[in-house]
Chain A
Amino acid sequence: MNHLIDRRLAGGNKSAVNRERFLRRYKEQIRRSVKGVVAERSITDIDKGGNVNIPARDIREPVFRHGPGGEREIVHTGNKEFSAGDTIPRPQGGGEGQGRGNQGGEGESVDDFVFTLSREEFLDLFFEDMELPDMVRNFLGDVPERKWVRAGYRREGSPNNLAVVRTLKQSLGRRIALSSAIRDELEAARRELAEAERRSVSVLQVSMLRERVEELEKKLSRVPFLDDLDLRYRNRVAVPAPVARAVMFCLMDVSASMDERKKELAKRFYALLYLFLTRKYEHVELVFIRHTDNAEECDEDAFFHDPRTGGTVVCSALELMHKIVDERFEPAGWNIYVAQASDGDAFGSDPAKSMRYLREFLLPLARYFAYIEIPDENDNRTSTLWAAYEELAGTEPNFAMRRVHGRAEIYPVFRDLFKKETAWGAA
């Protein structure tokens, strides 16, 4: 009458569709939260999943319910000292006091609704924030490419992978193993028969021997030429596609005119380039170079958050980078990418000098050099550095530059890069 069923293999994840609907519905709130996470998080961790906060108020589902006021009695347990008629001051400050009952407080907790986004969901929102086209999203969101390589043989497989020679080898071995004993016996029996015929023994004996020979011949013929056991298939396993190394230089002007907003934009720019590189290269190193009137290498935290004061000498950063490349990243073994962010302030001969330095020393080494200029909001004048770099834009194929006021304008900097490199990657 009673049934016992094992449902464990029926597969869970029935809620996946509902979860996805929830995410879609509260996209605005989630996106806001993701924005905060991106700001806090290190560039190298950009593509991990993340915790998301949504104010509980925003996702409340309203129903008609009682509010405070009116008259009611509430029964509680665990009385120790009260007698009928005692009075108790009302709990103040919206606290869930004893007197306020529980129904009144249900569902209006002010705690945020916190949950975890998977890597895919997180990246999706990040990309959306950056307004990336779909093709690029697919490319970035992809797991690293894999290649199928031969890895010996296996007993199961699809017919198209049948290894004929190997199979026949197996068959041959098996046939030898199974039939050699029979063959020996047959040999012996034949000899005996010939002997008997030669010596003309009794007819009965000869016919018995003949029968025996025939039986053995039959037995021999029953050893199959090809058996299921013999089949061998080529085995293929997926291994990650060949890897290469890349180094990404982040150059930034950290003088006082680069405020938080500009650094925030720059960070997205770096993060995107980094993501792009990690999809292409198994191993990506990051080098942070900040500069005011002189340049220094530093870690990511100092790069984004340590305020500096001083003037601006762009060329110092370029020189330092050149030095680091010489010391640690031999261009033959490393793909060099450079991302430079600045508000464009540069003085005197510095812009022209920087441009020449770039053209002569750095651009020949680098696979790609992107410069973004983040001017003050509503500032439409081009800067001195911009004016100098403009000369490179037309002539050097691996140089890109762009003025960026908002997040959505970052992607176009990469457009050419993505186009070229994805085509190159697919070829």
Chain B
Amino acid sequence: MGGGVNGGATLRAAEPISRGPEWTFELIRRYDDAIGECAREFGLDTYPNQIEVITSEQMLDAYASTGLPIIYPHWTYGKEFIRNEALYRKGYQGLAYEIVINSDPCIAYLMEENTITMQALVIAHACYGHNSFFKGNYLFRQWTYADAILDYLVFARNYVMKCEERYGVAAVEEVLDSCHALAPHGVDKYKRPGAKSLKDEERRQVEREENARRLFNDLWRTLPRAEAKEPRAAGRQPFPAEPEENILYFVEKYSPKLEPWQKEIVRIVRKIAQYFYPQSQTKVMNEGWACFWHYTLTNRLYDKGLVDDAFMLEFLQSHTNVIAQRGFDQQGYGGLNPYALGFAMYQDLKRICEAPTAEDRQWFPEIAGGDWRQVLDFAMRNFKDESFIAQYMSPKLIRDFRFFAIADYEDEPELVVDSIHDEAGYQRIRTLLSRQYNRDYVVPDIQVANFERDGDRSITLRHQAARNRPLREDEAEETLKHLGRLWGFDVRLESVGEDGSIIKTFECPG
């Protein structure tokens, strides 16, 4: 850990905070204070923390509800719970050391089985790493209201339960099932303009008149007027005027069949999906950031002499487990480990700032040799996985990971190695990897194209099959049935290929 705060390591004078593996509340508090102190030295900006110690059973509960502390009752969470419990009981799967909730205050769960070293690691990782990411990253700032989420979840749960009492569990479950099927298509990727208040509207009116007055020139009157366009055939205006990508939003606003309470449930699922939207977009960045900081902060503790060698050895063992990346031909390879990739990228950025090579200067002229804390802070705030990789992945990192790209083209009889970690491939690998983290790579691009408002009330979805990748047909049919249930009238889905021709049509009569 060269180049720490104050230009180097402080003398190791202090006594370690603790020895041995046992934890107490007092110790956790002291570690938290010490880590918080280090975090402030590095200038991390965080929400206040609420650290909760829980049992492994409670951890299983938290798992089941996708990490949220409160959620409405639904069988899918029971399924998750049963699955995790079975895996855990049989020893196939350990539990995560921590769960952290993007809220203000930021809630982090510590498991009581952990040693004090693990608790300290988790505090550094969650309470300072993730926490500062939640507070700083633009996607989270834009899409989640950290101070309101817990209240909203309580409202959602109560509302769903009230509906169950009133309309029956089965009726509510039907709506929820259908909404869950469409939840990936229930998020806004771009901000909608807020509704204008009457005041805004009036002010705009005044400004417009003022503008017209200032630009008034009698000369314009003398120009010949253009012929008025033919009015469109009445009643044949396509609706929506622009395709709508948020299918659940569209259903909530325009479904001809849904009762108000059903619409509210659609809204609840949509809101929660939206809450998770930034997390799915920043997996690499977020986990990498948290790993970078638990590593940096813990090393800082060690430099200050606040933890002993035994602590560091245990810490390093867990740390290396978390950021392990297997090669494609090794057993247990499950694709890229976001922890590994993210951690490596931030470390690499720090290296580029502190010890840039000629190559780095050529690739990253604006940051090479800069102040690493400013560079990392900027990167954390202003990117998501896709753009982060496109912006900052260095040739050295590509070499370190020995990345290679496989091209899978339907028309080719065999797979082709597209590019590897060499001079010719750096740029291409970076682009391809970045594209892999684009949401559309995983979630097909499906939008509401047409609503026959004045006709048979059917809707048509359009799947823009990027690069002709088709939908899984059996699942698409079932998902469409769910949409049909919410919509109540005919639902159609057209897959449109690159060349604009319709590849496949799915239909579900209402």
* A84 and B425 contacting across the interface, CB-CB below 8 Å: yes
Chain B contacts for A98, CB-based, 8 A:
328-329, 406
- B127 to A18, Cβ gap below 8 A? no
Determine if B444 and A82 form an interchain contact, defined as CB atoms under 8 angstroms apart.
no
Q: Is B227 an interface residue (CB 8 A)?
A: no
A19 to B75, CA, bound (A): 7
Tell me whether B402 and A8 are in contact (CB under 8 A): no
A76-B181 contact, Cβ under 8 Å, with A15-B61, A66-B470, A115-B85: no
Task: Tell me which of A15, A22, A78 contacts B326 (CB under 8 A).
Answer: A78
CA distance A283 to B61 in the complex (A): 39
Q: How far is the CA of A157 from the CA of B481 in the complex (A)?
A: 61
CB-defined contacts of B470 to chain A, threshold 8 Å: 66-70
- Rounded to whole Å, the gap between the CB of A189 and the closest CB of chain B is 56
Contact check, A15 vs B78: say whether CB atoms are below 8 A apart.
yes
Residue of A nearest to B180 (CB): A61
| Minimum distance in angstroms from B294 CB to a CB of chain A | 17
Q: Given contacts A7-B52, A78-B402, A115-B82, are A73 and B469 in contact (CB under 8 A)?
A: no
A165 on the interface (CB 8 Å rule)? no
A100 to B328, CA, bound (A): 12
Interface membership of A4, Cβ < 8 A? yes
A167 to B130, CA, bound (A): 62
- Rounded to whole Å, the gap between the CB of A109 and the closest CB of chain B is 11
Chain B nearest CB, measured from A112 CB (Å)? 11
Task: Flag whether B25 is at the interface (Cβ < 8 A).
Answer: yes
Q: In the bound complex, do residue B36 and residue A19 qualify as a contact, i.e. CB atoms below 8 Å apart? A: no
Contact of B75 among A7, A22, A101 (CB under 8 A): A22
Query: Looking across the interface, which residue of chain A has its beta carbon closest to that of B341?
Result: A77
Interface segment, one of A85-93, A266-274, A364-372: A85-93
Q: Does B452 contact A (CB under 8 A)?
A: no
- Docked Cα-Cα span, A282 to B330, in Å, equals 56
Q: Are B422 and A6 in contact (CB under 8 A)?
A: no
Contact yes or no, A84 B75, CB < 8 A:
no
Contact with B along A114-129 (1 / 0, CB 8 A): 1110000000000000
For chain A, give the interface size range: 35 or more
In the complex, what residues of A have CB within 8 A of residue B330's CB? 78
Rounded to whole angstroms, the CA-CA distance of A67 and B446 in the bound complex is 14
Asked whether A198 is an interface residue with its Cβ less than 8 Å from the other chain, the reply is no
- Cα A3 to Cα B410 in complex, Å, equals 56
Size band of the interface chain B makes with A? 35 or more
The verdict on B417 contacting chain A, using a C-beta distance below 8 Å, is yes
Of A64, A70, A80, A88, the residue contacting B468 (CB under 8 A) is: A70
A64 touches B446 (CB 8 A): yes
Question: From B411, which residue of chain A is reached at the shortest CB distance?
Answer: A71
Q: Is the beta-carbon distance between B418 and A59 smaller than 8 angstroms? A: no
- Does B76 interact with chain A (Cβ within 8 Å)? yes
Contact residues, B210-231 vs A (CB, 8 A): none
Contacts of B408 in A (CB 8 A): 71-74, 99-101
Which residues of chain A are within 8 angstroms of B417 by Cβ–Cβ distance?
82-88
In the complex, are the beta carbons of A4 and B32 less than 8 A apart?
yes
Decide yes or no whether A242 CB sits under 8 A from chain B.
no
User: Which chain A positions have C-beta within 8 A of B183?
Assistant: 63
CB distance from A279 to the nearest CB of B (A): 29
Given contacts A64-B476, A77-B402, A87-B414, contact A71 B468 (CB under 8 A): yes
Q: Report Cα–Cα, A212/B50, bound state, in Å.
A: 64
Specify which chain A residues have a CB less than 8 angstroms from the CB of B333 in the assembled complex: 78
B444 touches A18 (CB 8 A): no
* B258 is an interface residue with CB less than 8 A from chain A: no
Residue B433 at the chain A interface, CB threshold 8 Å = yes
**Smallest Cβ distance from A281 to chain B, in angstroms?**
33
- Answer yes or no: B443 CB below 8 A from chain A CBs: yes
Query: What is the CA–CA distance of A65 and B479 in the complex, to the nearest angstrom?
Result: 10
Mask, A11-39, CB within 8 Å of B = 1, is: 01111011111111100000000000000
Q: Given A8-B53, A87-B417 in contact, is the A74-B406 Cβ separation under 8 Å?
A: yes
CB-based nearest A residue for B414: A87
Chain A residues positioned under 8 Å from B185 (CB to CB):
64
> From residue 34 to 62 of chain B, which have CB atoms closer than 8 A to chain A?
36, 48-55, 57-58, 60-61
- Are A65 and B471 in contact (CB-based, < 8 A)? yes
Does residue B5 face the partner (Cβ distance < 8 Å to A)? no
The 0/1 profile, CB within 8 Å of A marked 1, for residues 327-343 of chain B is 11110011110000000
- CB-based closest 7 A-B pairs: A78-B327, A70-B469, A22-B78, A18-B78, A12-B57, A67-B472, A62-B478
